[in-house]
Each structure stands twice: as C-alpha cells, then as structure tokens.
C-alpha cells in the first residue's frame, strides 16, 4: 500500500497547484504578461524537479542511459500535454476564471477523460458490454461533483462584502400600473 502514500502526496500537491500558480501570476504584478512569467518559473521548477532530480537518482542507482524510442517519445509527449495543461490553467485564469472554479472543473473532468481514454486504448475483458453500471455512476458523480463545487463554492469574505456593495438596492414592487 506504499503507492497510496504517493497518491496522497500528489493529491495534496495538485490540490494547491492552481491556487499557487494563480498567486504566482498575480505576484508578477504584470497584468499583460504575469501569467506567462509565472509559467516560465513553472518550467524552471520542472527542470529542477523533473530533470536534475531524476538524473541524480539514475546516476546514484547506476542505471543505464539507454532510452528506447517508444518510451522516450511517449514520455516526451506526456510532458508536452502536461505542460499544455498547465498553460491552459493559466490562460483560464487570464480569461477571468477563478482558481477554485477552474481547478474544480479540471480535477473533476480529468478523471473522466482518463477513464474513457483508458477504455478506448485498453478495452475491458468481455467487451464494453461487461462494464458495470457503477463505472458510469462514478463518471456521472465526478461530473456532478465538479458542477456542484463550481456552482456552490463558498464566496470569500472580501468578495462577499464587495458584491454586497456593488448590488443595487431592490425597489419595492407596487400593485398599481405605471402611468404613461
């Protein structure tokens, strides 16, 4: 069950990823290019974490430096789609998506895409008809969960106060028709 600890580590890291990324973009104090500047530092972080660290581990373990083409290209492609996804997060923030909404939709939608892609590339034994209803219920629950978290996320106190100030006062309804 050691793998489960690594899963929880990833959940924790990716759970704060969007908020940290948004904070970094806003911290650049550059409304025009702040998100791209933040993405540059994401790339530097990836270089430090995903290039230097594995290289050091491979050297320490005395691993061979042979990289079969199939593994090399699939791994490179995985990195590219991961980086495009990270850029998509930043562009969603730039298009006025809030971190809570953007990340909720991403983390609800990604497992759905993963499940269907896995089914398409590795069909189940017994064919698609052998898929149990609970699988589809899980897909539906993920979609509904993403929507509910997005629609009913708690509003921060500062935003709630600002919304109350901006909202126009309601005018009382009258029963009499307007004079023309």
Residue with the larger pLDDT of the pair 121 and 169: 121
Average pLDDT over residues 34-44: 94
Whole-angstrom distance, CA of residue 139 vs CA of residue 77: 26
> Is residue 124 within 8 Å of residue 131, measured between CB atoms?
yes
pTM higher than 0.75: no
pLDDT at 180 over 50: no
Range of weakest confidence among 60-69, 70-79, 130-139, 155-164: 155-164
- What pLDDT shows up at residue 11? 86
Percent of the chain at pLDDT > 90 equals 60
- What pLDDT shows up at residue 166? 61
Q: How far is CA 98 from CA 5, 12, 83, 150, in A?
A: 29, 19, 20, 10
- DSSP 8-state class, residue 174: -
- What would the pLDDT profile of 10-26 be if each residue is shown by its tens digit? 888 888 898 899 999 99
* Mean pLDDT score across all residues of the chain: 87
The residue extents of the domains of the chain are: 17-97, 98-154
Whole-angstrom distance, CA of residue 38 vs CA of residue 33: 9
Range of weakest confidence among 107-111, 122-126, 160-164: 160-164
Burial of 74 (0-12, 13-18, 19+ CB in 10 A): exposed
- What would the pLDDT profile of 53-86 be if each residue is shown by its tens digit? 999 999 999 999 999 999 999 999 999 999 999 9
DSSP letters, 45-82, are HHHIIIIIHHHHHHHHHT------HHHHHHHHHHHHHH
């Amino acid at each position: 069950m050691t793998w489960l600890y690594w899963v929880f580590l990833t959940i924790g890291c990716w759970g704060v990823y969007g908020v940290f990324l948004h904070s970094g973009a806003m911290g650049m104090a550059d409304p025009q290019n702040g998100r791209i500047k933040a993405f540059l530092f994401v790339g530097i972080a990836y270089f430090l974490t995903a290039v230097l660290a594995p290289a050091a581990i491979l050297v320490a373990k005395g691993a061979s430096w042979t990289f079969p083409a199939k593994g090399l290209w699939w791994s490179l492609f995985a990195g590219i789609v991961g980086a495009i996804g990270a850029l998509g997060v930043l562009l969603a923030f730039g298009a006025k998506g809030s971190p809570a909404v953007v990340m909720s939709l991403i983390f609800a939608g990604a497992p759905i895409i993963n499940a269907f892609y896995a089914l398409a590339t590795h069909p189940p034994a017994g064919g698609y008809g052998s898929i149990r209803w609970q699988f589809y219920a899980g897909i539906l629950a993920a979609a509904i969960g993403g929507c509910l978290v997005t629609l009913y996320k708690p509003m921060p106190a500062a935003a709630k106060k600002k919304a109350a100030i901006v909202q126009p006062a309601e005018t009382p309804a009258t029963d009499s028709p307007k004079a023309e």
